[in-house]
Amino acid sequence: MFGIIRPCRNRMGAELRSAWLAHLCGMCLALRDEHGHLSRLVTNYDGLMISAMVEAQSGLSRRSAGPCALRGMKSADVAVGSGARLAASVSLVLASLKIHDHVDDGDGLAGRVGWAGRAVARRWAARGVGTASDLGFDASVMIDSVRRQPLVEAAAGLGSSVLVVTEPTETATGFAVAQTAVLAGRPGNVEPLREVGRLFGRVAHLIDAAEDLESDRASGAWNPLLATGTSVAEARRLCLDAVTGIRLALDEAEFTDARLVHKLLVHELEESIIRVFGEDDQPRWSDPGSGLWAYPPLNWQPQPRGCLTGCGAFLYMCGTCQFCCRDPFPGPWSDKRRENLFDCDGCDGGCGDCCDCDCCCCPCDGA
């Protein structure tokens, strides 16, 4: 699983968390049923918002699914229909483009076995476009937008606006989210939701750039913040401004039930920004702690540990709650950066029903 939005179960509350899991499982099953088991690898936390957005505009569409190991061998009601299929299509197309980028850059496994990476990417792109065509929209708009990224990056330099670099991502995500209004039969929502998608794409791109900043600086890889001379503080400001824009755009759209999408795209997106940039413009992962509870620092050039040393690091990190309370944390043996899927960002378990919106009728509190 991957994605910039990773909700805390306590902040979500039981009802919204159940709805969130219904969309996650629904997208996973839609990928399996239409594109095979391998395609389930592209299931991600952000893509499910496409399914949630369709349901928020058109009403519930669920079916009962059998036991799954990822649900503790429990059955569950999962989202079905055009929303889940659209989420699957978008995830396939974007994953195929990401694999192409890795192959071109020689990064990771895809870069080492380029022929296999390109074959998988072509297959996923074709299937994603096929599903999109069945749903009545042309996914080539997304593909063309993202494929412009290398040209945009090549033209960017010191003094350029970082928003020039994020534009292809913004266009692709804006198009995808706008299609949810078309599928739901809400033409009046197309432009507000296009703005929601565009601003979400901006935040996703900037968060990715901030998370990769130190590793890119060390390796000499291209990074939009380094290339344009944009500070971390400015990137954080742009992200927070984008969340404000998303909140306003959501207010302009009409929904049957907006609670989940508002929770994810306003509250949880803000939490993601805080997770990466911190409250004081300093990335949380830069603080190694102190005293008895000092954390091993994150080394952007991993320094693998041996078997016994790794076991010691594992026991120490377990005893200091790093596997559940630090995000990200270094792998005890590999020393590679690991994302924490269970971090509650300091949540004390009593925040499930709270809402910190300035308005008195926040959609996610049921008012």
DSSP string across 306-358: -HHHHHHHHHHHHHTTHHHH-SSEE-TTT--EE--SS--TT--S--TT----S
Least confident of 19-23, 36-40, 222-226: 36-40
Cα torsion 80, 83, 89, 94 to 10°: value is -130
Per DSSP, 88 falls in state H
Confidence of residue 298 (pLDDT cuts 50, 70, 90): low
Query: Residue 220 — left, alpha, or beta (φ > 0 → left; ψ -120 to 50 → alpha)?
Result: left
Mean pLDDT across the stretch 102-127?
Answer: 75
> How far apart are the C-alpha atoms of 218 and 233, rounded to whole Å?
20
In contact, 184 and 249? CB cutoff 8 Å: no
Output the pTM of the full model: 0.78
**324 belongs to a structural domain:** no
- Kindly tell me if the per-residue pLDDT of 224 is higher than 90: yes
**319 belongs to a structural domain:** no
**100 belongs to a structural domain:** yes
Task: Please report the pLDDT score of residue 206 as a whole number.
Answer: 96
Residue 179, classed as helix, strand or coil, is helix
**3 belongs to a structural domain:** no
> How far apart are the C-alpha atoms of 194 and 180, rounded to whole Å?
9
> How far apart are the C-alpha atoms of 268 and 356, rounded to whole Å?
11
Task: Please report the pLDDT score of residue 194 as a whole number.
Answer: 97
Nearest to residue 43, comparing CAs of 99, 2, 103, 104? 2
> Domain with 158 in it: what CATH number?
1.10.600.10
Residue 73, classed as helix, strand or coil, is coil
Half-sphere exposure of 251 (CA within 13 A, CB side): 11
Task: Please report the pLDDT score of residue 322 as a whole number.
Answer: 75
**330 belongs to a structural domain:** no
**313 belongs to a structural domain:** no
> How many domains would you assign to the chain?
1
Q: Which domain holds residue 129?
A: 9-283
When comparing pLDDT for 294 and 19, which is higher? 19
- In the structure encoding, which two tokens stand for residue 104, read together? 């071109």
Confidence of residue 109 (pLDDT cuts 50, 70, 90): low
> Looking up tokens 């072509």, which residue turns up?
122
What proportion of the chain, given as a percentage, has pLDDT over 90? 41
**326 belongs to a structural domain:** no
Q: Which long-range contacts (CB under 8 A, 24 or more apart) does 181-185 make?
A: 181/57, 181/253, 182/136, 182/137, 183/54, 183/58, 183/82, 183/83, 183/86, 183/135, 183/136, 184/54, 184/57, 184/58, 185/57, 185/58
When comparing pLDDT for 84 and 122, which is higher? 84
pLDDT tens column, 238-268? 999 999 999 999 999 999 999 999 999 999 9
Cis status, amide bond into 328, omega within 30 of 0: yes
Mean pLDDT across the stretch 14-28?
Answer: 92
**232 belongs to a structural domain:** yes
Task: Please report the pLDDT score of residue 313 as a whole number.
Answer: 85
Least confident of 40-44, 89-93, 103-107: 103-107
- Kindly tell me if the per-residue pLDDT of 125 is higher than 80: yes
